[in-house]
Chains A and B, each alone.
Chain A
Amino acid sequence: MRTTIPAGNLAATGVVPGFPSAGRIVARGSTVLALLGALAIWLALLGPFAVLIQHLSLHSIRAALGPPGALDPLWVSLGASAIALGVMVLLGTPLAYLLARGRLPLARLVELGILLPLMMPPLVIGLLLIFLIGPEGTLGNLLADIHLTGVNTFFALIVAEFYEAAPFYILGAHAAFASVDPRIEQDATLLGDRPLQAFRRITLPLAAPGLATGLATAWARAMGAFGAVIIVAYYPRGLPNQIFIAFQEFGLSGALPFALLLVVAALPLPILAYLWSARTRSRVAGVEAP
C-alpha cells in the first residue's frame, strides 16, 4: 500500500523522491529471501529422488527385479495397502464426518485416540501390536477363534499398515468435512434431500478434494509403512521389508531397484489425487484450471 506524504514531511521521514524507501527495500529483500527459501526446500525435498535416479542403472534394475518371484513383495504391499485403505475409508469416513460436525460425545478423547498412533514411533506401535493381536494378546485369543493370527501374516501386515496410515486419512477427512458449511447441508435437506442424499449430493463432492488428498497421503504411508510392519509382519514380505533385507544382504545397489519400485507404485495415486483436487478446488472457486 502506498501512502502519500506531504512534501514538508519528506525530510522528517527520510524519504527522498526517486529513491526506493527503506520499507520497499526490506519488502523486496524479504520476497527474494522467501523465493530462495522455497527453492532450497524444494531442492532438499526432491534431492533424494534425483539421487535415486542418478544411482540406478538399467542393469541393476534388471538383475534385482528380473528373477521369478522378485515382484512378489510389490503384490503383497499393493494388496495389503488396498485392503487397509478400504477399511480406513469405510470406518474412518463416518468417524471424520461426525467429528467435524461435533456430533460425537467425548470428541476430544476420540481425537486424541486418532492422534496417538501418529505421535507414537511406528516401532513402538509394532511392539504394542504384538501384545494386542499377537498369539498371547488379549485380542489375539479372540482372533485365533476365527483362525487369524496377528503376527507374521498378511492380516498382521494390514493391521500394521492401518495403524501407521489411518490417522492421516481420518485427520484429512475431518478437515475436508469441516470445510463444508453445515448450513448448505441444511439447505439441501430443506429442499427435499434425505440426510444421506444431502451427504452424497452436497457434502461428498465438496469435501472430495480434501478426502482425496487424505486418502493419497494415507496410501503413501501404508505402502511405505515399515516401523510397525517389521515387528509384526516380517513375513509376508512387503516392499519396505524387501528394501531393508536387500540393503542388508547386497548393500545400496541391491536395495535401490526396490526403492524405485516402491516410489513408482506408491506415488502415482497421491500425485493424481493432488492434481485432481487442485483442479476441483479451482473449479468450485470459479477459476478455470489449466
Chain B
Amino acid sequence: MSSAPASLLEVDLEVERRQITVRAGFGLEAGERLAIFGTSGAGKTTILESIAGLTRLNRGNVRIGGDLVAGKAKGEAALEPRQRRVALVRQPTTLFPHLTVEENVAYGIRRSPARGGVTELLERLGLTMLARARGAALSGGQRQRVALGRALASPFRVLLLDEPYSAVDVAAREALRLLTIETCKEREAAGILVTHDLAEAQAFGGRLGIIDSGRLLQMGGPLEVVLSPLSRRVAQLVGYGGFVPVPAVANRFYAIHPDRVILGEVPERGLVLSGTIRSTRPFGPRYECTVAQRSGEQFTIHLDEPAVAGEECTLTVLDPPIVVA
C-alpha cells in the first residue's frame, strides 16, 4: 500500500502497439465516470486492458485505491488479477461458453448472500427466460447483456466497458445504461466506457475524453468537449464538418458543426457566412446540404427545409468554437 491515494483510479501509462504508441494519464474519483470516444484503432481497447493490468506497460503505472495494478514500482508487486476488483466487458464479448447465462452472471460472486441478487439482475437485463441457455445459443445483443451482467454482479471497484451496448437494440440501451450508471454509483466505483459512438459516450455521463492515434487529445464535460473542441482534429472527431479561417489570425479556424447552423443573418448569435448550396439530400427527418463559400471552402449543414442547389444563401453559425489547426 502506498500513502493516501489521490484518486480511486490513477492512470499514467504508455504502451507500444504495432501501429501506434498509446499514452494516457488521468485519475478518477470513487463514483466518477469517464467515456473515451475515438475511431476504431485509436487505442481504446488497449487503454482498458492496460488498466485491468492485462497488458505490459512500456512506461508508467496504474493504481487502484493506491495499490499497483499495472506497471512497475520500486519494492512493490502488482496486485494479482483476482485482488484487483476490476470488471471488464470486452468487445467482442467473451463469455464462458460451457456455463449457462445464470452461471456466467454469478461467476464473480464469492459470498452466497450476494447470489440472491442474480435473479433480480437477470430480470433487469431481460435475461430471465434465457437463464439456462448457453453462450452459443445467444444473439450478439444477448451475449453483451450477459457479459455486462457478469461484470455488474462482481464486487468491482473499477468497471471497464468496451462498446458494451453496440449489439443491443437501441430501445433496450437506455435501461442497460441506467443500470450500469446506478450500479457504479451504489458501489462508489469508477467507470470507464470506450466507444466509437459519440452519443453513447455523452450519455454515459461524467467526463468525456477524445482519443486519436493513441493519444487522449482532450478531456472535459460531455457537452463542453463537443461545443468547445480545442483542436481541428478533436472538432473533426466530434462531428464538425467545416473550417473557416479566422481573419487576420494564423492557424486559427472557426469550426462549423452541421447541427449548429441556422438560415439567415443573426450576427448576435454567431458567425454570419454566405455561400452557394451545392447539393441537398435527405438526412433522417431533416436535410443535409453542402455549402460552398466564395473562397472555395466547403462544409455541410443540416436544415429543416430542403435548400435548392445553386441558390445563394446566408447562414449564421451558432457560437462557432475557434480551433487550432
Interface assignment of A184: CB less than 8 Å from any CB of chain B: yes
Whether the Cβ atoms of A181 and B94 lie closer than 8 Å is: yes
Within 8 A of B (CB), among A201-217: 202, 205-206
- B91 → A minimal CB distance (Å): 11
- A184 → B minimal CB distance (Å): 5
Within 8 A of A (CB), among B285-318: none
Find the A residue at minimum CB distance from B150: A191
Interface assignment of B137: CB less than 8 Å from any CB of chain A: yes
Whether the Cβ atoms of B82 and A284 lie closer than 8 Å is: no
Interface assignment of B177: CB less than 8 Å from any CB of chain A: no
Whether the Cβ atoms of B94 and A187 lie closer than 8 Å is: yes
Interface assignment of A103: CB less than 8 Å from any CB of chain B: no
Interface assignment of A190: CB less than 8 Å from any CB of chain B: yes
- A247 → B minimal CB distance (Å): 47
Q: Which of B90, B96, B136 contacts A188 (CB 8 A)?
A: B96
Whether the Cβ atoms of B137 and A286 lie closer than 8 Å is: yes
Interface assignment of A183: CB less than 8 Å from any CB of chain B: yes
Residues of B with C-beta under 8 A to A153: none
Residues of A with C-beta under 8 A to B87: 190-191
Q: Which of B81, B95, B107, B155 contacts A186 (CB 8 A)?
A: B81
Q: How far is the CA of A189 from the CA of B84 in the complex (A)?
A: 10
Interface assignment of A193: CB less than 8 Å from any CB of chain B: yes
A285-B136, A286-B136 given as contacts; is B52 within 8 A of A190 (CB)? Answer: yes
- A196 → B minimal CB distance (Å): 11
A183-B94, A184-B96 given as contacts; is B134 within 8 A of A194 (CB)? Answer: no
Interface assignment of B6: CB less than 8 Å from any CB of chain A: no
Whether the Cβ atoms of B88 and A284 lie closer than 8 Å is: no
Whether the Cβ atoms of A190 and B82 lie closer than 8 Å is: yes
Within 8 A of A (CB), among B88-111: 88, 90, 94-98, 107-108, 110
- B50 → A minimal CB distance (Å): 13
Find the A residue at minimum CB distance from B83: A192
- Number of B interface residues in the complex (CB < 8 A): 25
> Interface code A10-50, partner B: CB below 8 Å = 1, 0 otherwise?
00000000000000000000000000000000000000000
Whether the Cβ atoms of B81 and A189 lie closer than 8 Å is: yes
Q: How far is the CA of A229 from the CA of B11 in the complex (A)?
A: 62
A183-B90, A184-B94, A284-B98 given as contacts; is B135 within 8 A of A191 (CB)? Answer: no
Whether the Cβ atoms of A190 and B84 lie closer than 8 Å is: yes
Q: How far is the CA of A285 from the CA of B84 in the complex (A)?
A: 32
Whether the Cβ atoms of A284 and B136 lie closer than 8 Å is: yes
Interface secondary structure of B, over-half rule: loop
Q: How far is the CA of A192 from the CA of B155 in the complex (A)?
A: 9
Find the B residue at minimum CB distance from A183: B94
Whether the Cβ atoms of A192 and B136 lie closer than 8 Å is: no
Interface secondary structure of A, over-half rule: helix
Q: Considering residues B81, B90, B136, which has the most beta carbons from chain A within 10 angstroms of its beta carbon?
A: B81
Within 8 A of A (CB), among B69-92: 80-82, 84, 86-88, 90
A191-B108, A191-B154 given as contacts; is B54 within 8 A of A205 (CB)? Answer: no
- A208 → B minimal CB distance (Å): 9
> Interface code A268-290, partner B: CB below 8 Å = 1, 0 otherwise?
00000000000000011111000
Residues of A with C-beta under 8 A to B150: 191
Within 8 A of A (CB), among B134-162: 134-137, 150, 154-155
Whether the Cβ atoms of A286 and B135 lie closer than 8 Å is: yes
Q: How far is the CA of A114 from the CA of B284 in the complex (A)?
A: 63
Further 12 A-B residue pairs, CB within 8 A, beyond A183-B94, A286-B134, A286-B136? A184-B96, A186-B54, A188-B107, A190-B54, A190-B81, A191-B108, A191-B150, A192-B82, A192-B108, A283-B98, A283-B134, A287-B136
Interface residues, chain B, CB within 8 Å of chain A? 52, 54, 80-82, 84, 86-88, 90, 94-98, 107-108, 110, 134-137, 150, 154-155
> Nearest 10 A-B pairs (CB), nearest first?
A286-B136, A191-B108, A189-B81, A286-B137, A192-B82, A184-B94, A205-B98, A284-B97, A284-B98, A285-B136
